[in-house]
Amino acid sequence: MRILLQFPEGLKQEALKHAKKLEAEGNEVVVSATPTFGACDLAIDEAKNIKADKLVHFGHAEFHHVDFNVEYVSYPIDADLSILERSLEPLRPFGKIGLMTTIQHIHQLDSVADFFRKNGKEVVIGKPYGFAKKSGQILGCDAGSAASIDRNVEALVYFGGGMFHPLGALLMTTKPFLLIEPFQGSVEFIDKYREIYAKRSRGKILASIDAKNIGILVTTKNGQNNMPMARILKNKVENAGLGLKAAILVSNTFDFGSINNMLEFDAFVNTACPRIAIDDTDRLRKPLLSANELNEVLRIQAELKASKK
């Protein structure tokens, strides 16, 4: 069997080990060297190009159905649970908490919940939602399991590594949000980032008020491509009666240096991974908007035009 292996950046150092293991079993193994941003970014084209029989994707669970033989290796990681003791004091005012984590720690979520229950907390874990497949699982682009329980808890708790995943959940919720990071050894509320990112969003909208030419970004990644939305947004921009122009800009992985060279555009709109319009705004000289932010820009432009009549 010819197999293509695909690893996210944090696991690429494991590539040779897994390749040799599969070769010892009689397979021909090729390793993808391109970046991947998750199970929304499968190397299907590469696999078909080399006539692979199977793609093995490491580090993520299934995101969406594809017409190819894909095996997912979620790569569970055992984090040190002793850090949970340090969360009891900051969580003392809250009797009912919601828990979430990533696929790497989903196997530990029951143990985390048991710890809090033994210490007098009522624990709520959200059901699978959107692209997530496990209860309590969140993705960088899908925090539905957190948002769905926001109104039913007094505080939210994320257990796992890094800020990428909990930031997405934070921006979709309203309750106090505690980050328990076992690898950095940090326990802290991260609620301040809600206002920080709200101010960034308002700044991008205000910076786009005079925009006349809009570039709409579309990716060809199999789990992020949203050409239908791009067409809708293009029509909305050009039919708003504001004298605006729009063009759809397509790429697989966006090269922001190249996009910066498109000087005719006054602002860009993201239709790919929703985190691009949150995390990558500083990489472009012009505003990088979400679809909702574009709608707000069009609304304000229409009001300004009407006020001048």
24-57 pLDDT, tens digit each: 999 999 999 999 989 999 999 999 999 999 999 9
- Which of the pair, 130 or 27, is modelled with greater confidence? 27
Last residue of a domain, one of 16, 47, 73: 73
My answer on whether 104 and 120 are in the same domain is yes
Helix residue spans in 239-290 (DSSP H): 256-260, 276-279
Say what the pTM is: 0.89
My answer on whether 218 and 303 are in the same domain is yes
My answer on whether 43 and 91 are in the same domain is no
CB 288 within 8 A of CB 268: yes
Note whether residue 164 is domain-resident. yes
My answer on whether 95 and 151 are in the same domain is yes
Note whether residue 144 is domain-resident. yes
User: What does the DSSP 8-state code read for residue 64?
Assistant: S
Q: Is the pLDDT of residue 240 over 80?
A: yes
Query: How many domains would you assign to the chain?
Result: 3
My answer on whether 169 and 242 are in the same domain is no
My answer on whether 92 and 170 are in the same domain is yes
Domain that holds residue 143: 81-190
Taking only Cα atoms into account, the Rg of the chain, rounded to an integer number of angstroms, comes to: 22
My answer on whether 41 and 110 are in the same domain is no
DSSP E strands in 63-166: the ranges are: 70-73, 96-100, 122-125, 155-159
